[in-house]
Each structure stands twice: as structure tokens, then as C-alpha cells.
Structure 1
Amino acid sequence: MKKIIFICATVLVSCSSAKFHKVNGVSFVSSGEEASQQHIDPVLNVQANYAAIMPFGFTSDINSPDLVFDSDRQWFGERREGVEQYIQKMHQNGVRIMVKPQIWISRGAFTGNLKMLTEADWKQFEEAYEAFILLYATLAEETQSDIFCIGTELKVFVNERPEFWSELITKVRHVYHGEITYAANWDEYAKTPFWSRLDYIGVNAYFPLCEEENPSVETLSKGWQPWKAKLKEVSKNKKSPILFTEFGYRSMDFTGKKPWLVDRNQTDVNLEAQARATQVLFDEFWSESWFAGGFVWKWFMQHNEVGGHEDNRFTPQNKPAESVIRKQYSQERKTRL
């Protein structure tokens, strides 16, 4: 089935949505413990058919060439053994996988600004990053994971080191034979140079939609139109479908203004704004033949302990947005059946 989807998506971008099974995914956050059935059941309950499993590499600064990964000092779910266990547990429950290695910079600095200051530092960092990516590409092959993501929001790195990325894609293809993407930030994807060598145009879809405190459906939909037109154009030109490698909104006022914000601000909780923005995104994209689906940001293992009516963070868990997602993903499942 995977090969059929691949042909439909990359060669016949205009194929009917009835033949193109959407990725209805969650971004499954790593934890210090093994995944058990009680952690997977909420994923099944929301009717997700994919989960992004996200091992991490860590660096101390945007200019540091050191990258630590698969270390005993990391949480179980951030290491190779944990990623493998999460994948196996998801597969036992019929959930497909995108393996999505990511970098965390100390104090949450933006990875798009990661930049080495000397050629020697670039070489050192590239050697470490290649080892990081190939470790998990090999695991993705061994576990027969469906999609592998070669990087997330690394704008400067991608722009300044094109030869490295060209060689990395070739090396990943040698060890992994599934579908490949890259998770470009919303403001970098249009200029990412290597889409023709990947299977999906991956976009972290935190597009600014409006300035309103409590935006209406109409306002949010209007805000999407220029971004949607550009996404469609890029998909057509590159002859590849768009995949939202991340999408989501915080449950707070002004949720459509700067959806990428991860600061711990005290903006008032607005559960309905999150639900409304999520529904508009589904309405705008899920019926489009050039759109492959996406992974909601973000989904924690300890379902009963997160989210809720006093939380203004991204997770939709235990909020009205969870019901919106369940309804959409359920419709997709019924269509497939």
C-alpha cells in the first residue's frame, strides 16, 4: 500500500482524495518511561493512523559544534532503545510511524539560527549530525517505519551547507527505503532547495493568520488563503504533496497571531479559539488532493495528566480541540473503510 500512495502522491498530484489516504498523525512526545498500552490507547481513541516519534540530539549553543545523542543521560524515549520500543508498541496497534530526529539547543534557542563560526566547526558538527541522522534512518529501516524526516527547522544550516544536505540525502537513501521528508519552518519551505529529491514537502505549519484576540472561523479562513495558494503552487511546481510535519495552535487568546510561540506567557486560556483554528485548518486542507495530511503538535504519553481547561499550551489533550481532531480523523478512517 505504501508504494501505491507514493505513486499517487508524487507523480499524480492531482489524483482524487478518495485514493489518497491522509496522514492523520500525532507528534508523540518522548518520555522517561517505556510506552505501554495505556499510553497508546488515547492515540487510538483520537483515531490517529500515524505517530511521529522524535529522538533528540542536544547542543549547548547555536554556534556549538558539539551534538550529544543516544546518551545514557537522555530520557528513555529520546534514545535509540526508547524510539525502537515506541515504534514497536505503535506498530502492534496498527499505527504507522514517521521517525523525526530533532535538535534541542540549550534554553530553547531557535534551531533555524544554528550556525557554525568556522569551517572546522561546520565539519565537526556535520559529522555528528550525519551520525545522528543515519543512526535513526537505519532504525527506521529496521522497524519498517513509513516516513523518515532528515531534519527540522534548520534554515541557516540548509542554506549555507547545500553540499552536505545533498550527500546526506544520498546516504539516507542507501540505508532507508521508505519515504523521506524534511520539516521546514513555515517561513523557509518555499526556498528549501532539495524537495525534488524527497517524497514530501514537509512544512511546520505555524503560519500567522490574523491579529485578532478571539478570531472567527471567517477570519481564520481568510487568513489562510494567501498561504494556501503558495503551498499549492509549490506542490505543483515540485510535483510533490505537502505534508504538515507539525501543525497546531495554543489554547489562548491571539492563537492565530504568532502560532509558533512556545514561551510560557500568561495570555488568557481560550479553548474555543484553539478548537476553531484547528477545525479551519482541517476544512482548508484535508480535502485537497495535493495535501498529504499532518501531525498535530503535540501529544504527551501521560494523557490524563496533561492539557485540560486551565492549560494554554499546544497540546489538544483533554480540551475541545481533541474532539475536533477525533471527528476529523474518524471521518478519514470511515472513508478508508
Structure 2
Amino acid sequence: MARRSFSRGVLALGAAGTLLIGAAAWWLAAGNDDGMRPLLEGGIRSGNLSTDYVIETALDDARRLELNAVNVPVAVNVADSRASRFELDEASLDKARRIIPMLHARGIRVLLEPYPWIADGSVAETAWNPSEPEAFFRHWQEDVLQPLVRELAAPLQVEAVVAASNLVHLESRSGDWIRLLKELKAQYGGLVTYKTNWWYTADWDEASLAAFRAKRDNPLWAEVDFISVAAYFELTDKLSPSTAELKAALRHAERHGRGQDVPAELEELAQRWGKPYFFGELGFPAREGAASEPWNSAPSDAPDAKLQARLFEAYRDAFRGRESFLGYSVFAIGEASPDKRYYPSEESAAVIRSW
């Protein structure tokens, strides 16, 4: 997936339990007092904050893009790709504590995500393969999810928690995820989702078809309220394809002659579990070649802000109005330095506002 940049214990009974019950009641009533619709009603127009987001820029971006939700990350400090123990970053936790009320005050819903920050950001979370998986799940529950619920999600009435994202080496451990998700739902009254990484299929590649079937049939999906997908699907090797070419490639991917039908596979996943799906990350580097490897921040050195916009336009036209589709979260906003190649261009912003 694309890289972002960064900057215990069991919940007690009594006051903490009362807080959780209050959060559940607030979530069920969401939309009645402040106009915020529950997320499962769809039409989600969200943005993923870079982990090094600037609060003022994040709020300005939400206004500029006319977003109605924001994905707020809290960094999880991880030593290396084999680590099974880790901890929440206190500065990131504090910044989330400050921005969430500001977003709610503007009628913007919040998705809260623990984000692995591995080896000071040099390793993607897709490469994380803990040496002790059992220890990973124990510490993810006790040292990440429980504190997030206790310190942020419950007291700040967060609408949804992303239990984990893009952990491709652990996703097949269905029993562990089911236990973790059940415990999370027992502690938290809002919506729960899990974000899976993009995939590819080709009729001539049985291994890719088997991998998709395993992803589609993973019983962890029974425990989430909606399915989140990091949508970095490889479409075409053309350097600067038209919107029509991109729309065609979404239904029959040209990359490596795979012929993957992305919308059909997403609908198949949704129908298998009777759960709607959501693009938990939808972003493209503003560079030529972005349609070939959207997960690669540097597919070329040639800027192409219009291609970035055409990619958003192609996804908009392919998915808008689908009953199973909840919406999307633009990757990434909140920090606009020149090295932020995924930051939405003005051309992209116009498309996002129209979606």
C-alpha cells in the first residue's frame, strides 16, 4: 500500500463501563441532534489523515473537499517487521484527542485507526510479519485497541474503529481475528471494521484466484459492520490514460493482461457476507504511471495532477450509486508538503466534491 508519514490492560468496570454504555447510546442516536448520519446509511466522503498531519491543514482540507468524515490515525510504534510487541505513540494519541472534538464540532464523523509505524516509517505495514503471532494478537488487543477505546473512542464518541489494516501476513488467522473483533465489540458501542489490502486476479493465474477466494471467504468478515478495502488496484500500464480507458480497466484490468473485474469482485465479497464495502483508502500519486501501481508513490518522476483527477473520476463513475458501496476515504490529507504525492490536486478536489 502507499506509505504514510508520521510524526493497558482490560477495561475496568464501573465508570469505564458507564462511559462505554453512554458511547453506545450516543452512536445509536447519531444524526438526530447534529445532522450527522450514521455511517451505514452510506454516502461517506472521508479523508485519511497523514500520520504527520497538521490540525489546521486537516480541518481546511475537510472543508475544501466537502468531506463528511475523516479517518484519524494513531501511530503504533513497532521496532521492525518481525516485532510482536509495540506501543501507542503518546504524541499521536494526544493529537487525535485534540482534533476529534474539532471534527465533531463541524459535523464531521470520525473513523479511528491504529496505524503501524514500523522502523521509524521505513517499513510498510504490508511487510509486518510478527515472529510470535499469538503475542501479536494479545498485545494488539491489550496495548492498542483497549487503550484506544478507553481514551478516545468511548469518551469522544467516535463513530467507527478500524480494528487493523493491511496486515497481509496475519489476515488468514481467522480465529484470532474473530476473538479480537468480538472482544472489541463487547467494549465499544460504535461501528467496527477491518481494512484489507488490495488484490489482483487473472484467469491464467490459479494462485491469484485461490488467494481471492480465501480473502472473500475469510470468516472474520462476519464480525465487522462493514468491509474496508485499501483500493490500490493495478489497472493499466498506460502513462496517462483517459477517464474512459480507466473505467474500462476497472472492469477488465490491462495490467499484465489480468482482465480483473474490480467492481464485480467487490460486489462478490459484499454479497458473500451481506455486508457493505467501503474504500478505506482511495488515493493515487499525482504522477504519470499512477494507474499501473497506485500503491507506489513514485511510479515516475513526471507530475500529472490531471491523471490523479481522472482516476478519482473513473472510480466515482464505476461505484457511485451501487447499493453495497458505502463511500470512500481519500488518501491522504492534512499535510501538503511537496513530498506528499498523494495529496489531492485542485483538479482532484473538484472531482471529489462532485462525488
Q: TM-score, normalised by structure 1?
A: 0.81
Give the alignment of 1:70-219 within 5 angstroms.
70-71=89-90, 76=91, 78-79=92-93, 81-106=94-119, 107-117=121-131, 121-130=132-141, 131-138=143-150, 139-159=152-172, 161-187=173-199, 189-190=215-216, 192-219=218-245
1:184–1:192: 8 Å Cα contact kept in structure 2?
no
CA distance in 1, matches of 2:293, 2:113: 24
1:221 and 2:247 correspond: yes
Aligned counterpart in structure 2 of residue 22 of structure 1, from 37, 43, 46: 43
AA at the equivalent of 1:50: A
2:127–2:169: 8 Å Cα contact kept in structure 1?
yes
Unpaired runs of at least 5, structure 2: 1-25, 31-39, 200-211, 252-260
| 1:142 CA displacement | 1.9
| 1:126 CA displacement | 2.6
Aligned to 1:8: none
2:113–2:163: 8 Å Cα contact kept in structure 1?
yes
Aligned to 1:322, what secondary structure does the other structure show?
Answer: helix
| 1:65 CA displacement | 2.1
CA distance in 1, matches of 2:147, 2:218: 24
Aligned to 2:171, what secondary structure does the other structure show?
Answer: helix
Deviations 1:45-69 (A, max 9, x none): 3210000000011212211223132
Evaluate the alpha carbon distance shift between residue 214 and residue 265 of structure 1 in structure 2; reply closer, same or farther with a 3 A threshold: closer
Identity %: 20
Aligned to 1:158, what secondary structure does the other structure show?
Answer: coil
AA at the equivalent of 1:23: I
Aligned counterpart in structure 2 of residue 314 of structure 1, from 315, 338, 342: 342
1:253 and 2:285 correspond: no
Aligned to 1:292, what secondary structure does the other structure show?
Answer: strand
CA distance in 1, matches of 2:347, 2:226: 30
AA at the equivalent of 2:181: I
1:184–1:204: 8 Å Cα contact kept in structure 2?
yes
Aligned to 1:99, what secondary structure does the other structure show?
Answer: strand
Aligned to 1:196, what secondary structure does the other structure show?
Answer: helix
| 1:145 CA displacement | 1.3
Deviations 1:245-303 (A, max 9, x none): 000111111111011113x56521111110101111111112111100010000024xx
AA at the equivalent of 1:176: Y
| 1:99 CA displacement | 0.4
2:27–2:159: 8 Å Cα contact kept in structure 1?
yes
Aligned to 2:16: none
AA at the equivalent of 2:225: D
Give the alignment of 1:242-321 within 5 angstroms.
242-262=277-297, 264=298, 266-301=300-335, 305-306=336-337, 313-316=341-344, 318-321=345-348
Evaluate the alpha carbon distance shift between residue 42 and residue 162 of structure 1 in structure 2; reply closer, same or farther with a 3 A threshold: closer
Evaluate the alpha carbon distance shift between residue 232 and residue 162 of structure 1 in structure 2; reply closer, same or farther with a 3 A threshold: closer
How many aligned positions are there? 295
AA at the equivalent of 2:272: N
Give the alignment of 1:13-52 within 5 angstroms.
20-31=41-52, 35-36=55-56, 39-52=58-71
RMSD: 2.4
Aligned to 2:116, what secondary structure does the other structure show?
Answer: strand
Evaluate the alpha carbon distance shift between residue 192 and residue 299 of structure 1 in structure 2; reply closer, same or farther with a 3 A threshold: farther
2:288–2:299: 8 Å Cα contact kept in structure 1?
no
AA at the equivalent of 1:67: F
| 1:29 CA displacement | 2.3
Deviations 1:93-131 (A, max 9, x none): 1110000111122253232332233xxx33433332112
- Greater shift, 108-117 or 202-211, is seen at 108-117
Aligned to 2:154, what secondary structure does the other structure show?
Answer: helix
Unpaired runs of at least 5, structure 1: 6-18, 329-337
AA at the equivalent of 2:175: E
CA distance in 1, matches of 2:45, 2:58: 18
| 1:166 CA displacement | 1.6
Aligned to 1:201, what secondary structure does the other structure show?
Answer: strand
Deviations 1:148-170 (A, max 9, x none): 100010121121x3332121111
Evaluate the alpha carbon distance shift between residue 4 and residue 199 of structure 1 in structure 2; reply closer, same or farther with a 3 A threshold: farther
1:190–1:234: 8 Å Cα contact kept in structure 2?
yes
